[in-house]
Structure 1
Amino acid sequence: MARSNIGGFFAFCAKAVCACLLGAVLVVGGTNAYVVTSATPSITSAEQARLRGTCDAVVVLGASVFTDGTPSDILRDRLETAAGLYASGIAPTIIVSGDGSTVYNNEPETMKNYLVNLGVPESAIVRDDAGLSTYESMYRARYVYGVQSVAVVTQNYHLPRAIASARLLGCDVVGVPADRGSYENQMSYEIREIPARTKDLVQAALHMDPSRL
């Protein structure tokens, strides 16, 4: 009898675990489908973005920088795309948002310097040193810097998450892809987006303040 009870308990636990795993897969799959399908119509080329009219700011999402103070390939492409948008007159301001918590590998500082070298006036660049994640960057653009309309610049794989977050936070948003070639570790970036889309969607839907997380 005791063995029967133990066997039944383990069978129940196995079913419960399977149910939880199935639920997690459905939640992650459903939120990813929503983020991608809802955001895709707002992804546009730089030329088409200009035709849509002006916005309050261009937001460039941070990425890794090298120890010599130069941007990685993925970040360089974002910055060059943003500089082109600024030159076209799409927005009066570029917000460079990333991790500015350290002296070395300071993303916003590197981003600002690179943009200045591309001819963007320093006065037109806003450094957001607390954009430690995509959601934090979009939240701070909306509620710290008061942006209501925005052109977000990052790579195609990353845009749906940023667009969905910005829209749920109340921004009129377009996304401009910065893909100018292939990147190392592209597959890992794609995989990382799967849980990140779910996380950011929940945070944006609840308007969570990142400083309190």
Structure 2
Amino acid sequence: MKRQISSYKGRKLCLWQKLLLSAVLAGAVTFAGLFGAVLYGSYDHIQGDPRAMVVLGCQVMPDGEPSILLRDRLDRALDYLEDHPDLTVVVSGGQGDNEPVTEARCMADYLMERGVEEDRLLLEERSHNTDQNLRYSRELLEAEGCDLSQGVVVVSNGFHLTRARMLAERAGYDSVSTLAAPSSHLPSRLHMYVREPLALVKSFFLDR
């Protein structure tokens, strides 16, 4: 006698499960796209001949020394300044609750100790986020009569530069170049590459 084997039918998903799965997949695709944008911006993009540099601030340690990520930014700036000795440099960053000095003051001291002349440095000490960094730095450069028609080069860690470029263009800079510093502290680098796609969305909608 022949035995009939019924075809296997998988368990069907109910409506809420389908909606949840769709939302998870859409979120994953969106995050992947944002992550790709962050990676694309994480390299040097120099255009033209910028006459000003803005170094974006980062955490200052309790002893007044720059954090590892901030030191990475400053060392990258120093490398570039060796070949571009005429740039005006804005060091941009206010003072957080746990910081003994402003980020700008810490950065200026670090650069001067390594040979950058004090009269080339402008300290922007009011800002507390990337949007303010760039807007207040532009105000400071314009007040000093700096020629921004040839653009500005923005220095930060690679993971930060896609958002920094977007905000710089929104702040009114005509031509924005970016200089990518490494991220020597591995845990911070991993954390920031996860955080930054979400920060990019936040800045796109709220930093205006």
TM-score, with length taken from structure 1: 0.70
Q: 1:154 to 1:96 in 2, by over 3 A?
A: same
Q: 1:138 to 1:90 in 2, by over 3 A?
A: farther
Q: Who is 2:163 aligned against? A: 161
Shift of 1:90: 6.5
Gaps in structure 1 of 5+ consecutive residues: 1-11, 209-213
The superposition leaves residues 121-161 of structure 1 with CA deviations (integer Å, 9 ceiling, x where unpaired) of: 11111111122111211222334533552111111111111
Aligned-partner Cα distance in 2 for 1:69–1:36: 30
Tell me, yes or no, if structure 1 residue 111 matches structure 2 residue 107. Answer: yes
Q: Counterpart of 1:69 in 2: which secondary structure?
A: coil
Aligned-partner Cα distance in 2 for 1:180–1:198: 22
Deviates more, 1:54-63 or 1:81-90: 81-90
Deviates more, 1:157-166 or 1:94-103: 94-103
Q: Which has the larger radius of gyration?
A: 2
Q: 1:65 to 1:123 in 2, by over 3 A?
A: same
Structure (1/2) with the larger helix percentage: 1
Does the 8 Å CA contact 1:157/1:190 hold for their aligned counterparts? yes
Aligned-partner Cα distance in 2 for 1:43–1:170: 22
Tell me, yes or no, if structure 1 residue 187 matches structure 2 residue 190. Answer: yes
Q: 1:166 to 1:90 in 2, by over 3 A?
A: farther
RMSD: 3.4
Aligned-partner residue type, residue 159 of structure 2: Y
Shift of 1:100: 2.7
Tell me, yes or no, if structure 1 residue 135 matches structure 2 residue 135. Answer: no
Aligned-partner Cα distance in 2 for 1:27–1:129: 39
Aligned-partner Cα distance in 1 for 2:30–2:111: 37
Shift of 1:30: 8.9
Q: Who is 1:80 aligned against? A: 75
The superposition leaves residues 93-146 of structure 1 with CA deviations (integer Å, 9 ceiling, x where unpaired) of: 111111235671431111010000111111111111122111211222334533
Given candidates 169, 174, 199, the residue that maps to 1:196 is 199
Does the 8 Å CA contact 2:158/2:183 hold for their aligned counterparts? no
The superposition leaves residues 14-43 of structure 1 with CA deviations (integer Å, 9 ceiling, x where unpaired) of: 79x96xx67x94996498369548x63x94
Does the 8 Å CA contact 1:58/1:153 hold for their aligned counterparts? yes
Q: Who is 1:69 aligned against? A: 64
Tell me, yes or no, if structure 1 residue 56 matches structure 2 residue 51. Answer: yes
Q: Counterpart of 2:187 in 1: which secondary structure?
A: coil
Aligned-partner Cα distance in 2 for 1:120–1:130: 22
Q: 1:162 to 1:115 in 2, by over 3 A?
A: same
Q: Counterpart of 1:131 in 2: which secondary structure?
A: coil
Aligned-partner residue type, residue 169 of structure 2: R
- Percent identity between matched residues is 27
